[in-house]
Structure 1
Amino acid sequence: MIPVQGYAGQTVAVLGLGRTGRAAAAALAAGGAQPVVWDDSVPARNTAEAEGLILRDLTKTQSYEDVAALIVSPGIPHLYPAPHPAIAAAWDAGVPVDNDIGLFFQSFATTEWANFDTAPRVIAVTGSNGKSTTAALIHHILTENGRPAQLAGNIGRGVLDIDPAPDGGVVVLELSSYQTDLARALTPDVAVFTNFSPDHLDRHAGLGGYFAAKRRLFAEGGPDRAIVGVDEAEGRYLANQLSEGPEDDRVIRISSGQKLTQGWTVFARKSFLSEYRKGRQVGTIDLRKIKGLPGGHNHQNACAAYAACRTLGLGPKGIAAAMESYPGLPHRSQIVAEKDGVLYVNDSKATNVDSAAKALQAFKKIRWICGGLQKEGGLEALLPHLDHVVKAYVIGREAEGFALQLTGAEAEICTTMEAAVMRAVAEAQAGEVVLLAPAAASFDQYDNFEKRGDDFMARVQAALG
């Protein structure tokens, strides 16, 4: 646990009692603060009270008379589409609003670090897609090369639930726009921006607000190194804003598909990763050997992870060796079975159009299971990538409407995962891939994308016997 610094002897309010809120309350108490908590869910409040936490209705302005700060869980809207009543009440009372990420950055460093030979470092990863894979890959590479590392944030443990830093330790954080948007302290040593595409637009009142939330990771704290994916205009803009010129090696530009040679760059082309510094190639990796990172989108993740590890002094050979043993993450281009020449891949985490498009580009002949709770913007961006699709099998309550948008591809309305898998397995031919990449949220049929991916895997195993 990371005891929260700066609030000893003060009352701090915590809104939301999921994993994040409960860890924040415990870390505040460990740092000498008195947490008071609230959740809209009555069962959550009852559980918290049974565990000895002090409940207080934080939707009332008078509840903040003795409160030093309000700590908000990431799933709770603080501005758009409308601020939660408790947050509005805190504003009215003049109480600062923060989140667990802000608490982490103000509390992680301690006086014990003065005795360390090597100061601990924090690598923070954000972007629209690939955050989890990039963060997990960085952690894997560090661990395989003997560096003490912890994985936290949206993946692994909660940021305040990790262990205090050891000498030379590295914390790898995956941070969503919900987390970067509200944190009052954002000071990573290395910040990574993977890529950018529309997502969470209701929460950020549009594309500009969403990008602004991502940009805060780089603008607020000024990382020593910024690793920026430049395959979209937003990434090129961000890299330009952070850089003092083409040779400024505080900014490492990365790409999947483009050759980059000015300054410090890492890019992947034709399944080969290359590192250039001052116009010269200084490292290369054959990504074809790495089964846990298929497709151009994963090659972009590999570039980001490689660059992050290079900033910490790891050599290309050590990074390459570790990448070869990377097993991949569940529900992210996860190979779940292979039989009679047909590969079965679970990419349930492809919850938006951009991530699904990248999954479709990773394979040649695809039996595509897709559909669910469609996000804003429609499916138009997927249409250029349907040439790899032999047939689509559409699931979800909106399956008919989803299928109608897939112009140029044969689509069968299956509605359920069971029916989609049965049809895909029955029709798949050797050399094809049965791919779950929904391009939609899961909440019409499942609690989360993990449950959806688990169902796909179970149905595949049952169908294959």
Structure 2
Amino acid sequence: MTTAKPNAVRHAFKRLRKKIREVRARVNRRLTNAKVIAVTGSSGKTTTVALLAHILSEKGSVRSQFVANQFRDAVHTLRRLRRRDAFVVLEQGTEAPGQLPKAAELIKPDIAIVTLVAIEHCTAFRTIEAVAEEKASFVRTLPVNGRAILNFDDPHCRAMAEMTRAKCVFFGVEGGEYRATDLNLSSDGTLDFVLHSRHGRMPLRTQLLGKHNWLSVTAAVTCALELGVSADTIAEKVASFSAVHGRMSVYSVNGRKFILDTEKAPYHSIGLPLETLRTIAATKKRFILGQISDYRGNSDRKYRDTYQAAAKVADEVCFVGARAHKAHAPRHDVETGKFRAFASMEALARHLTDTAQEGEVILLKSARNLHLERLMLDAVEPVRCWANECGKKTSCFECGLFGAAFDEHEGRSRSRRR
């Protein structure tokens, strides 16, 4: 009689535990009386979910899930449902075709919100039509008495209304039942605007940076109004909501302002943080770019175009990492210090320390793998972990080991787990 190899037994046990968790999630979803809201889209999901959960907390217990947005995260959230939960708000993203239909079949939302459709995960999806097909999964699974909340300004979102018998509600700038107007940025970049609907004229003041945040705020407010939250309560909750970490979140350190946009950097929206930086008053503006993601074609052109756009806004533009040379900055910009390229994060950190200027604004933009947040952390306390790409998906705030050299992490991680 042969004995199964230890690894095979371990893997079988993991598969069994995974299956049990999924079954528990399905049972909880079937038994819950909570209103289940699923949010998807190519941008704005995280802020929409976080803000909507913040608003709905005035009406009852809210269980929310954002940033982590895969199928396993939905399983994790649904497994933890409690009888007292009145609302469940989940962010769901995708990296390949078929992931969202699977999540939609598990979540079975009462309300589906789609923020917008743009080309992302180009290798997997190839076309924007394929992305739209995937994002429509939650709309298709809505019950007849459900509700789809869709971006009127995006034709791909608007077309999703034909895919469901549920009630469809539109929001947008160009049209829809809920229309955002008078978008305005203050001198520090924060957004305020007016929302018009059957509920009347609603002025909204936010702590969020950039006009592009009208999308997330309007989507969340539209859903809250549809669920019966009062306009006064919504306005108060919107005004008290601060940005999710790494999504244009602001940190003041010794008279300098760091703006972290370090969770993702899709090429289709790279200009939005730059437009925000343009409107902010500062003694000096710096734009720091790590890695751009989600684009088709030659990467050199994407980095070059991004540099040209940044050079019109910032006093200094720094590219860091293996792609820094792709800026193709003019010789004059290099000689005058308008453009600076850094092979390592540590070298850039030293430069920022040596040239620190009170009243300056530093915008950090990159996909999360480079962990640009270390540049801000180093202004607070010395950072010793300067690996350009450590392989960890969590931010340095969650990891907490930035004060130790990268080669010392393994032992410390094991100790912390124990």
TM-score (norm 1): 0.64
Corresponding residue to 1:253 among 156, 159, 170: 170
Aligned to 2:320: 395
Q: Distance in 2 between matches of 1:220 and 1:421?
A: 48
Q: Which secondary structure state, in structure 2, belongs to the residue aligned with residue 171 of structure 1?
A: strand
Q: Distance in 2 between matches of 1:131 and 1:286?
A: 19
Give the conservation status (yes or no) of the 8 Å contact 1:442–1:452. no
Residue 108 of structure 1 deviates from its aligned partner by 0.5
| Distance change in 2, residues 1:391/1:420 (3 Å) | same
Residue 314 of structure 1 deviates from its aligned partner by 0.4
Q: Distance in 2 between matches of 1:137 and 1:263?
A: 20
Residue 361 of structure 1 deviates from its aligned partner by 1.8
- Cα RMSD between the aligned structures? 4.0
| Distance change in 2, residues 1:184/1:141 (3 Å) | closer
Aligned to 2:215: 300
TM-score (norm 2): 0.70
Cα distance per residue 1:381-439 (max 9 Å; x no partner) = 745565322222111222212x2289997431112223223334544655542011126
1:349 aligns with 2:273: no
Instruction: Give the paired residue count.
Output: 352
| Distance change in 2, residues 1:334/1:153 (3 Å) | closer
Aligned to 1:332: 247
Corresponding residue to 1:419 among 347, 363, 366: 347
Q: How does 1:107-126 map to 2 (within 5 A)?
A: 108-110=29-31, 119-126=33-40
Aligned to 2:115: 194
Q: Distance in 1 between matches of 2:52 and 2:291?
A: 31
Q: Which runs of 4+ in 1 moved over 6 A?
A: 42-46, 405-409, 452-459
Q: How does 1:311-322 map to 2 (within 5 A)?
A: 311-322=226-237
1:447 aligns with 2:391: yes
1:212 aligns with 2:133: yes
Residue 343 of structure 1 deviates from its aligned partner by 1.3
Aligned to 1:274: 194
Extract unaligned runs of 5+ from structure 1: 1-41, 57-69, 72-98, 114-118, 460-465
Amino acid at match of 2:258: Y
Corresponding residue to 1:169 among 78, 86, 90: 86
Identity of aligned residues (%): 20
Q: Distance in 1 between matches of 2:24 and 2:330?
A: 45
Q: Which secondary structure state, in structure 2, belongs to the residue aligned with residue 388 of structure 1?
A: coil
Q: Which secondary structure state, in structure 1, belongs to the residue aligned with residue 232 of structure 2?
A: helix
Residue 303 of structure 1 deviates from its aligned partner by 1.0
Q: Distance in 2 between matches of 1:109 and 1:447?
A: 38
Residue 348 of structure 1 deviates from its aligned partner by 0.4
Q: Which secondary structure state, in structure 2, belongs to the residue aligned with residue 400 of structure 1?
A: helix
1:367 aligns with 2:295: no
Aligned to 2:363: 435
Aligned to 2:147: 225
Residue 360 of structure 1 deviates from its aligned partner by 1.7
Give the conservation status (yes or no) of the 8 Å contact 2:122–2:294. no
Residue 458 of structure 1 deviates from its aligned partner by 6.7
Corresponding residue to 1:140 among 54, 57, 61: 54
The structure with the largest helix share of the pair is 2
Give the conservation status (yes or no) of the 8 Å contact 1:354–1:381. no
| Distance change in 2, residues 1:184/1:225 (3 Å) | closer
Residue 295 of structure 1 deviates from its aligned partner by 0.9
Give the conservation status (yes or no) of the 8 Å contact 2:194–2:204. no
Q: Distance in 2 between matches of 1:446 and 1:43?
A: 30
Residue 128 of structure 1 deviates from its aligned partner by 1.0
Amino acid at match of 1:286: L
1:285 aligns with 2:203: yes
Q: Distance in 2 between matches of 1:408 and 1:225?
A: 56
Extract unaligned runs of 5+ from structure 2: 185-190, 372-387, 404-418
